[in-house]
Structure 1
Amino acid sequence: MVNSLVSILIPFKDVEDYLEECLNSIQNQTYKNWEVIAVNDGSVDNSLAIATKFATLDKRFKVLSNDESGIITALRKAYKHCKGEYISRMDADDHMTPDRIQIMLHSLIDNGKGSLAVGKVKYFSKHGVNDGYDRYEKWLNNLTKTGTNFQEIYKECVIPSPCWMVHKSDFDNCGAFTPDRYPEDYDLAFRFYEKELTCIPCTSTLHYWRDYDNRTSRTSEHYAQNYFLDIKLHYFLKLEYQSTNAIVVWGAGKKGKKIANTLVQKKIPFHWVCDNPKKIGKDIYGVQLKHFSILKDIKNSKTIITVANEEEQLSIHSFFTELNNTSAKDYFFFC
């Protein structure tokens, strides 16, 4: 019978309204051999007292305090003190289904090392879930049910930060929580991708993701769009680009200009294309915008697409199909 120890790492700060529900959902897991390493990241409300109460009554809960400040250092401390053979994360303001740990653990054991367990997620909010989160949930769950998460990693974070599990040796191989790069969950997803972990398909909803006005992902500057673009470009240049490639940036909106300006600052040559007649021929950052049809004559190209409109994205897909180019190999959607 499987009885491996699973470590669940939880940084928390000022979540007194939600923490008890979160910890109860872990205590009610069908799989019992787990430990929670909860790290207080400077709470000024009643969160620490709530966590301490659980640790007093159930020795599987351990509560520590962050020596520094911020979610990355809190996660590092939690990981340093965990003892599990398998590692998972949890957000202190969410809750998990009773069978989450059991399903994830068994899928990892069945698939062996080099695998990453994920689960479908469900957003909830007392004010109702907005359209953006609803679309993200559907997009993410469609990837998760087939295990194809990494095919669209440059669009958005494809691994739900509070709903994954991995073998400890694989986690160490991916660098654990070593980098200081934000958003830390997106950076970790890229490192899972870089080390070629295989996402295990999952059709079960395992995590309930709470949305509210002062959630960290809404309020912290570390989760602003420019941070996401910086991570995308960092890993694109590291993992996809070679000196023999010709980089093409498709789109001259805000994101396209941000990426183009960064490439200029890095002194990396690129072609810049769009389909807007008002922008074609313009010189921006010393680079002339051209019609996208020039891609037919550019050999060995890697194209970054910053066009967000879904109908236009379908047309772009069709254009590259005619060129016999492959998505996530020859062209990459950055939004």
Structure 2
Amino acid sequence: MPSALPAVSPPAVSVALPCFNAASTLPAALDSLLAQTLQDFEVIAADDGSDATDGGATWDVLCAYARRDARIRPLRLPHQGVALTWNAAVNACRAPLIARMDADDLCLPERLALQAERLNAEPGLDLVSGLVRFGGDREKRLGYALHVDWLNTLRDHEAISRNRFVESPLANPSVMFRRAAWERLGPARANTGAHAFPEDYEQWLRWLSQGARMAKVQAPILVWNDPPTRLSRTKAEYSLEAFARIKAGYLWDWLRRHNPQHPRVWAWGAGRVSRKRLDALLALGLEIEHYVDIDPRKVGQRVHGVPVLGRDAVPQRLSDAAAETLAGTPAQTPFILVNVASRGAREEILEWLAGRGYQPGAGCVAVG
């Protein structure tokens, strides 16, 4: 009687890599994975039904790499969009730790080792990202490059959590998380219905709202490229309006738990662009009692009936105990939305508010 085949142990790390019409960038992405110092991994490379313009080239690249290295495991799917393809790739992963990778980015050699080491050393963490390098023309793509600079300042859970309503605090292809966290907190949600949304940002907002703990390794782990075909530049679900809509729902729920005066707030930033960013929250029922601004042309005016105050009108924040004693007097303890897009100005405002007793999550929150 033949003996049973030995059980195949799962790898230490699985990499989930969704791809679509990606034949031109896949080789470099896969080569960067095969060059990792941590060798015990697999790559679930899921072809999201690449279309006729691709001519099967993406699948051919994946199969060629799989013949060279058994750690590359291609998965061919009908076209269903990045969220469902990402979910299918994760579901096929066998390791307890799962990393995300995109087909147009590059992993630095220590990436998987550094992230796995951090997760294994800190059982309380659900997800670990890392610092990223901007891969593009900084002069021509300055906005994206500045976003990368900002991401790299958010290094611990507290910074990631308190900045989640400004922009997505994680570079999606840089994350590694526990399979147990995925099973507990839920997969990516597909874009369905009338309003598209950025599935990665929604997932991390949802995970944070459920108590996920996140951090970053203190070293660059990924080159985050910015080609003209990047989905964030070409798809409706990554428009500014889509980001604002998905952010508003989670911010509204957060304010309901953290703002004693909910739904009343003061909004720092009375300019037209700043006010426009609050439209989705206003539609949910947000009430702006006062705007705060430093522009002398705005101070003392009214915007749609709402007074605009100078910053010196912001009262000293009461202690939590005093605020509880004076419940029902919201004018003395306003909750402030710091709604200023300029990153340097935002940090200056938060520092100034700290001198008045306001801390992110306790009296104020930064939004973008």
User: Into which bin does the TM-score normalised by the smaller protein fall?
Assistant: 0.7 to 0.9
Alignment of 1:17-166 (within 5 A): 17-43=24-50, 44-45=53-54, 46-125=57-136, 130-144=141-155, 148-166=159-177
Say if 1:232 and 1:292 are closer, same or farther in 2 by CA, change over 3 A.
Answer: farther
SS in 1 for 2:359: coil
Q: Find the counterpart in structure 2 of residue 282 from structure 1.
A: 302
1:323 aligns with 2:356: yes
Deviation larger for 4-13 or 195-204: 195-204
Is the CA contact (8 Å cut-off) linking 2:10 and 2:95 kept in structure 1? no
5+ residue gaps, structure 1 = none
Alignment of 1:304-315 (within 5 A): 304-310=337-343, 312-314=345-347
SS in 2 for 1:196: coil
Say if 1:257 and 1:9 are closer, same or farther in 2 by CA, change over 3 A.
Answer: same
Q: Find the counterpart in structure 2 of residue 214 from structure 1.
A: 229
Is the CA contact (8 Å cut-off) linking 2:266 and 2:292 kept in structure 1? no
**What is the CA distance between 1:126 and its match in structure 2?**
6.3
SS in 1 for 2:218: coil
Deviation larger for 126-135 or 38-47: 126-135
Q: Find the counterpart in structure 1 of residue 203 from structure 2.
A: 188
Is the CA contact (8 Å cut-off) linking 1:123 and 1:210 kept in structure 2? yes
Give the whole-Å Cα distance in 2 for the aligned partners of 1:120 and 1:219: 25
* Aligned partner letter, 1:205: P
Say if 1:129 and 1:100 are closer, same or farther in 2 by CA, change over 3 A.
Answer: farther
Say if 1:240 and 1:288 are closer, same or farther in 2 by CA, change over 3 A.
Answer: closer
Give deviations 1:80-128, integer Å, cap 9, x for gaps: 2222211110010011012211111111111114342211111123686
Is the CA contact (8 Å cut-off) linking 1:5 and 1:34 kept in structure 2? yes
**What is the CA distance between 1:65 and its match in structure 2?**
3.1
Say if 1:271 and 1:200 are closer, same or farther in 2 by CA, change over 3 A.
Answer: same
Give the whole-Å Cα distance in 2 for the aligned partners of 1:170 and 1:54: 30
Give deviations 1:186-217, integer Å, cap 9, x for gaps: 22222332233333442211111111222111
Give the whole-Å Cα distance in 1 for the aligned partners of 2:333 and 2:162: 20
**What is the CA distance between 1:301 and its match in structure 2?**
3.3
Task: With the length of structure 1 as denominator, give the TM-score of the two structures.
Answer: 0.87
Say if 1:167 and 1:256 are closer, same or farther in 2 by CA, change over 3 A.
Answer: same
CA RMSD across the alignment = 2.8
Say if 1:209 and 1:85 are closer, same or farther in 2 by CA, change over 3 A.
Answer: same
Say if 1:248 and 1:168 are closer, same or farther in 2 by CA, change over 3 A.
Answer: same
Q: In structure 2, which of residues 236, 252, 257 is the aligned counterpart of residue 237 of structure 1?
A: 252
**What is the CA distance between 1:244 and its match in structure 2?**
3.7
Give deviations 1:275-332, integer Å, cap 9, x for gaps: 2455554353xx5243255543724433222222356435533542343111243222
**What is the CA distance between 1:249 and its match in structure 2?**
2.5
Is the CA contact (8 Å cut-off) linking 2:248 and 2:281 kept in structure 1? no
Is the CA contact (8 Å cut-off) linking 1:66 and 1:73 kept in structure 2? no
Give deviations 1:149-185, integer Å, cap 9, x for gaps: 2232222211110011111111222212246472122
Give the whole-Å Cα distance in 2 for the aligned partners of 1:313 and 1:70: 35
Q: Find the counterpart in structure 1 of residue 280 from structure 2.
A: 262
Is the CA contact (8 Å cut-off) linking 1:94 and 1:210 kept in structure 2? yes
Q: Find the counterpart in structure 1 of residue 6 from structure 2.
A: none
Say if 1:310 and 1:12 are closer, same or farther in 2 by CA, change over 3 A.
Answer: closer
Q: In structure 2, which of residues 10, 18, 23 is the aligned counterpart of residue 11 of structure 1?
A: 18
**Greater C-alpha radius of gyration:** 2
Give the whole-Å Cα distance in 2 for the aligned partners of 1:192 and 1:146: 12
Give the whole-Å Cα distance in 2 for the aligned partners of 1:263 and 1:292: 23
Give the whole-Å Cα distance in 2 for the aligned partners of 1:153 and 1:264: 19
Give the whole-Å Cα distance in 2 for the aligned partners of 1:34 and 1:295: 54
Say if 1:263 and 1:240 are closer, same or farther in 2 by CA, change over 3 A.
Answer: closer
* Aligned partner letter, 1:176: P
Q: In structure 2, which of residues 296, 309, 315 is the aligned counterpart of residue 291 of structure 1?
A: 309
Give the whole-Å Cα distance in 2 for the aligned partners of 1:253 and 1:179: 34
Task: With the length of structure 2 as denominator, give the TM-score of the two structures.
Answer: 0.80
Say if 1:83 and 1:332 are closer, same or farther in 2 by CA, change over 3 A.
Answer: same
**What is the CA distance between 1:4 and its match in structure 2?**
4.7
Say if 1:321 and 1:179 are closer, same or farther in 2 by CA, change over 3 A.
Answer: same
Give the whole-Å Cα distance in 1 for the aligned partners of 2:185 and 2:138: 38
Is the CA contact (8 Å cut-off) linking 2:156 and 2:214 kept in structure 1? no
Identical-pair percentage: 22
Give the whole-Å Cα distance in 1 for the aligned partners of 2:332 and 2:186: 35
Q: Find the counterpart in structure 2 of residue 247 from structure 1.
A: 265
Is the CA contact (8 Å cut-off) linking 2:107 and 2:222 kept in structure 1? yes
